[in-house]
Structure 1
Amino acid sequence: MSGGADDDEGIAADWVQGEQDALERAYRRWSGLVHGLSRRAVGPDDADDVTQAVFVSAWRGRATYDPQAGPLGAWLVGITRRRIADHLRTRRRHPVAEPSPDEGVDSDGWSQADSADLLTIYEELERIGDPQRRIILLAYVEDLTQREIAERLNLPLGTVKTHTNRTLARLRTLLGGEG
């Protein structure tokens, strides 16, 4: 491993320097997020291809990443959005099957609009940073209670509640809901 730590900032610093193992470390850290967003937007069959395209594109364009503009994870989510959009445009130009009555809705009942909202949420969570990001992901991805989150993160319960409420209000506003 290069000189940097395996935390987000260490990976980002090595990414900027073009360290050889930075791509592998970034992939370990964010591939689950990228793949999950891709799977939700393009389906399980194409998610691997989109995920690979995201990391190849990100590494090739690493000189355009500016740590002052935001975290590496948020930058990767932005690239994910573009690769998903590219993939969906290509799919529309070269359809493989007749459109179904539920066109735009995947097998889990998610529409492309829902997927775009999900991408926006994850992008904002990456921008917000920790501990808010971790609290929301633990609550809504791992389905932990606020008390369990407080114990896991070694934070006071009131802090977890405050971060949850403020972050959810921020996300509601971002998505055009009432703050």
Structure 2
Amino acid sequence: MTAPDDAIAAAWVRGEEGALEQAYHRWGGLVHGLARRAVGADSADDVSQQVFVSAWRGRATYDPSQGPLGAWLVGITRRRIADHLRARPRLAEVPADPATLEPERGEWSEMDRDDLLAVYEELERIGDPQRRIVLLAHVQGLTHPEIAELVQLPLGTVKSHLTRTIARLRTRMGGDR
């Protein structure tokens, strides 16, 4: 079982042995998913590795009072993705599979990458269980009853979390998506 987010962040700040592994276990999937959608499956591993190497080397710049470690890692992910895209030759081929650029289903499939990254960053700030419920519904496309069963919460609670979190994201993102 993964340590709580604040425990991982505290270990990260102290530079404890195992903190990088715990952070990777907790947020590696998010970082890799963002990288995969932005730069394609072929480059996602490299970008993800760059994110965690950069984050670990720059861990002294992380300030837990400014936000959660996951949001900080998403910010680094955004910069590494931008670096990767700038470094690509101008005439590089666009990945042939459009599914590598966008979520497979859900209302976010029409968003551009910058907006999608901003949403993920906000979700990291919001935290669980709301973050998980929104991702299960709008990225993985699960139904409300499927989510309720998976997260072991009543269906009404899942629906309430989802409605409030989407409204909160719309307000924070400054638009009606």
Q: Which moved more, 1:140-149 or 1:120-129?
A: 140-149
Q: Residue 11 of structure 1 contacts residue 25 of structure 1 at CA under 8 Å; is this kept in 2?
A: yes
1:35 is aligned to 32
Q: Which moved more, 1:167-176 or 1:14-23?
A: 167-176
CA RMSD of aligned residues (A): 2.3
2:157 is aligned to 159
How far apart, in 1, do the equivalents of 2:75 and 2:155 lie? Answer: 32
Instruction: Please identify runs of 4+ aligned residues in structure 1 that moved more than 4 A.
Output: none
How far apart, in 1, do the equivalents of 2:76 and 2:142 lie? Answer: 29
SS in 2 for 1:144: coil
Q: Which moved more, 1:81-90 or 1:154-163?
A: 154-163
Larger Rg: 1
SS in 2 for 1:6: coil
Shift of 1:175: 4.1
Q: Residue 43 of structure 1 contacts residue 106 of structure 1 at CA under 8 Å; is this kept in 2?
A: no
Q: What are the within-5 Å matches in structure 2 for residues 1-179 of structure 1? A: 6-91=3-88, 94-95=89-90, 97=92, 107-108=97-98, 110=101, 114-178=112-176
Q: Between Structure 1 and Structure 2, how many residues are aligned?
A: 167
The gaps in structure 2 that reach 5 residues or longer are 103-110
SS in 2 for 1:143: coil
How far apart, in 2, do the equivalents of 1:81 and 1:131 lie? Answer: 24
Amino acid at match of 1:108: P
How far apart, in 2, do the equivalents of 1:60 and 1:52 lie? Answer: 12
Q: Residue 74 of structure 1 contacts residue 126 of structure 1 at CA under 8 Å; is this kept in 2?
A: yes
Which of structures 1 and 2 has the larger relative contact order (alpha carbons within 8 angstroms, sep 6+)?
2
After TM superposition, the score normalised by the length of structure 1 is: 0.82
% identical aligned pairs: 68
After TM superposition, the score normalised by the length of structure 2 is: 0.83
Amino acid at match of 1:135: I
Shift of 1:10: 1.6
Shift of 1:106: 6.2
